Amino acid sequence: MRGLTHRAVDERAGLPQGSTSNHARTRQALLETAVRRQVQLESRVLTPDELPGAAGPPGAAVGTQSRARDAAPGTTPDGAPGTTPGGPPEPVPHGPLDADTLADVLSLALHRYLTDHRALLVSRYELALEATRRPELRAFFDAAGSVFHGPLVAMTAAAGSPEPERHALSLIAWCEGLMFSCAAGSFHAAVPSRAELRTGFHELLRGMLGGDTRPGLG
């Protein structure tokens, strides 16, 4: 993270020296810009409405809505200046969602992230660790994460969770632990197959929702 400087960004982007500082004059502003960009890139990876099997209302409530995903850095989805990257997505109403579909969509999105976007995963943890040392960045980083948290709460509620907020946090914690193990864990865990991830999500959802959520059962 020490290598993230205004000068380094200018050099990497092939811009005249001083260009980056014109847009992000302080270190804090530079880090916030990095967080905005991180969220934009993660949204493109983790948005199941771009993935097979997630079409229709269920997919629309995961990740960020397209207009939030494509908003310019530092703006709300409507284009007005904002302090978070695109702001949290608006709730998307939809009917009941079966647990099998939820496990399938989540496993596909997570597998795509783990297999094809390891550099993005590492940068996420670099920024998260920097936020632990900078309280002013912590607030911004946490607000940025709301674009992923809110829709997941809506999805667990649609799947029948009696406590969607708590269950969404449990799903996030499981994903975070798995991602860290694959990116930087001491055991150098191999990336699970999509089938293994789907099984893991089914096990979690079975405990949350009751019954057996495996395909064709429960």
Render pLDDT for 84-121 as a digit per residue (tens, 0 to 9).
444 434 444 455 788 888 999 899 999 999 998 988 98
Task: Quote the pLDDT of residue 48.
Answer: 57
Burial readout 165-201 (b: 16 or more C-beta within 10 A, e: otherwise)? eebbeebeeebeebbebbbeeeeeeebbebeebbebb
Residue 75, beta-bridge partner list: 81
Q: With pLDDT > 90 as the criterion, what percentage of the chain qualifies?
A: 40
| Angle, helix 118-133 to helix 27-46, in steps of 10 degrees | 140
Whole-angstrom distance, CA of residue 205 vs CA of residue 211: 9
Task: Quote the pLDDT of residue 186.
Answer: 65
CATH architecture observed for domain 28-209: Orthogonal Bundle (1.10)
Task: Quote the pLDDT of residue 88.
Answer: 39
CA neighbor of 149 nearest in space, from 175, 183, 179:
175
Whole-angstrom distance, CA of residue 45 vs CA of residue 112: 7
CB-CB contact of 195 with 185 (8 Å): no
Task: Quote the pLDDT of residue 148.
Answer: 86
For the four alpha carbons of 80, 51, 115 and 169, in that order, the dihedral sign comes to: positive
Of 161 and 72, the one with more pLDDT: 161
Residue in the block written with tokens 């934009």: 40
Single pTM value for the model? 0.70
The pLDDT confidence band at residue 164, using thresholds 50, 70 and 90, is: very high
Task: Quote the pLDDT of residue 147.
Answer: 85
Task: Quote the pLDDT of residue 167.
Answer: 95
What is the phi/psi pair of residue 75, to 5°?
Answer: -125, 160
For the four alpha carbons of 47, 52, 55 and 58, in that order, the dihedral sign comes to: negative
What single letter denotes the amino acid at residue 4? L
CA 86 to chain CA centroid, nearest Å: 13
Task: Quote the pLDDT of residue 170.
Answer: 95
CA geometry: angle 113, 116, 119, nearest 5 deg: 85
The pLDDT confidence band at residue 56, using thresholds 50, 70 and 90, is: very low
